[in-house]
Structure 1
Amino acid sequence: MKQAVNTAELAAACIGKSPQDILQIAFDHFGDDLWISFSGAEDVVLLDMAWKLNKNVKVFSLDTGRLHPETYRFIEQVREHYGLAIEVLSPDARLLEPLVREKGLFSFYKDGHGECCGIRKIEPLKRKLATVSAWATGQRRDQSPGTRSQVAEFEVDGAFSTPDRPLYKFNPLAQMSSEEIWGYIRMLEIPYNSLHERGYISIGCEPCTRPVLPNQHEREGRWWWEEATHKECGLHAGNLIGKS
């Protein structure tokens, strides 16, 4: 970390700024301690912006073992396009194998996605974030009225900070709309996941993601068998604080 963090000043500095300006602030404060989270979906815009500011930007992605083939190919396409060494995180087999052995491969349809996401996504992410000072995500306020409408440009991570080790989180795309995201992708002709051409908007694991119909919100394609207002896997658990 390059300098001490005054969270109130940093939060104020990010409000109303462009995504590129927020990323520059993040790099100025955290340098190589800042990591970009890349999911293989629309957050390629975040990665593109960060790479243009810092060609050596550090990027990680979660491989749950259940992603679409198109997502795996897209991650590789992005790695080659930007010349980046994307760090791909995998679940801990010691946790995953007992779950599959005892409950099978599709237990989430019966008892909710929390346990599976906890092992395949949250544990690897927690393991990674324990080694970094700050991370940046592609979260946007328009992605989910129920859980993301109040996403801040900068925050102390409410899910992964510890009392003796705060983790700082940037959401540079918070104010961008889906229309603006796709305008950026098309204008600059950057790579995107081919699933978007087949009606997939919010892309996660293959068994838990489906295309959306006209006029459906994008998060309706995720965990569609569950209650509509809690469409989060836990990566951004802080979004659920205060939600009923």
Structure 2
Amino acid sequence: MGAEDQVITDMLCNINKDVNIFTLDTGRLNPSTYKLIETTNNRYDIKIKCFFPKNEDVEDMVSNKGMYSFYESIEERKNCCFIRKIEPLKRALKGYRFWITGLRAEQSVTREGLKCVEFDESNKIIKINPLINWSEKDVWDYIKQNNVAYNKLHDEGYPSIGCEPCTRAVDKGADIRSGRWWWEDPTKKECGLHIKE
């Protein structure tokens, strides 16, 4: 439900609302993200499908490692991301041949080499990144020109928004993803959804 995803949703719904749009609800999203899902559904008269982590996996992780184990190590954070994001994504993509994302090359060093169209080995799907060469300015110009709804956390200094405990506001002009997993090395800041194998 990032700004880029909202641009893609607006473009798709203006062409044909008969597309399947989904999001991953990790169970740790910020309330403004839930509000944006509702706003987007109402605005375009669509139903964004939410994919959740498996209850038993979350219960096991929290029972054995605690509610905030992801702060302890990259391994624990990646385990949390796997349970809350990767596994639900695999279910969301099952049966599809194409996946359209809002990825942009300038978002992080880990995304610089992505192509507009590529094969996602991990999910065995063709991944289409139509905004790959867009700048942050391009995204916000489109949002303003087309009155696209966006997460109000962006107005509070959050250039990238994920789970509430793993996302924070950053200073103006800071790296786009510096508020995500801020306790980690920037070259390791991916949840695993968009990693090339």
TM surpasses 0.5? yes
CA contact (8 A) 1:200 1:221 kept: yes
Given candidates 133, 144, 149, the residue that maps to 2:112 is 149
Give the root-mean-square deviation of aligned CA atoms.
Answer: 1.1
2:10 corresponds to which letter in structure 1? D
Pairing 1:51–2:13 present? yes
Contact 1:41–1:203 under 8 Å retained in 2: no
> Is the counterpart of residue 139 in structure 1 residue 97 in structure 2?
no
Task: Give the distance between the partners of 2:26 and 2:120, measured in 1 at CA.
Answer: 22
| TM-score, normalised via structure 1 length | 0.78
The C-alpha deviation readout for 1:115-151, integer Å capped at 9, x for no partner, is 100000000001221221111000001111x111111
Match of 1:46, SS state, is helix
Greater Rg by CA: 1
Q: What is the alpha-carbon distance in structure 2 between the residues aligned to residue 135 and residue 143 of structure 1?
A: 19
Corresponding letter in the other structure for 1:187? Q
How does 1:24-103 map onto structure 2 within 5 Å? 39-103=1-65
Question: SS of the counterpart of 1:43?
Answer: helix
Q: Does 2:133 match 1:175?
A: yes
1:118 equivalent in alignment to 2:82: yes
What is residue 123 of structure 2 aligned with on the other side? 160
Report Cα offsets for 1:38-61 as digits up to 9, x if no partner.
x34431001111111212121000
User: What percentage of aligned pairs have identical amino acids?
Assistant: 47
| Secondary structure of the structure 2 residue equivalent to 1:181 | helix
Query: Does the Cα contact within 8 Å between 1:66 and 1:207 map onto a contact in 2?
Result: yes
Q: Give yes or no for contact 2:157–2:172 (8 Å, CA) kept in 1.
A: no
Where 2:183 maps in the other structure, the secondary structure is: coil
Residue 184 (structure 1) shift:
0.4
- Structure 1, unpaired ranges of 5+: 1-38, 162-166
Q: Which runs of at least 4 in structure 1 moved beyond 6 Å after TM superposition?
A: none
Q: So what's the TM-score if we normalise by structure 2?
A: 0.96
Gaps of 5+ in 2: none
Letter in 2 for 1:220: S
Aligned-partner Cα distance in 2 for 1:40–1:216: 17
Residue equivalent to 1:200 = 158
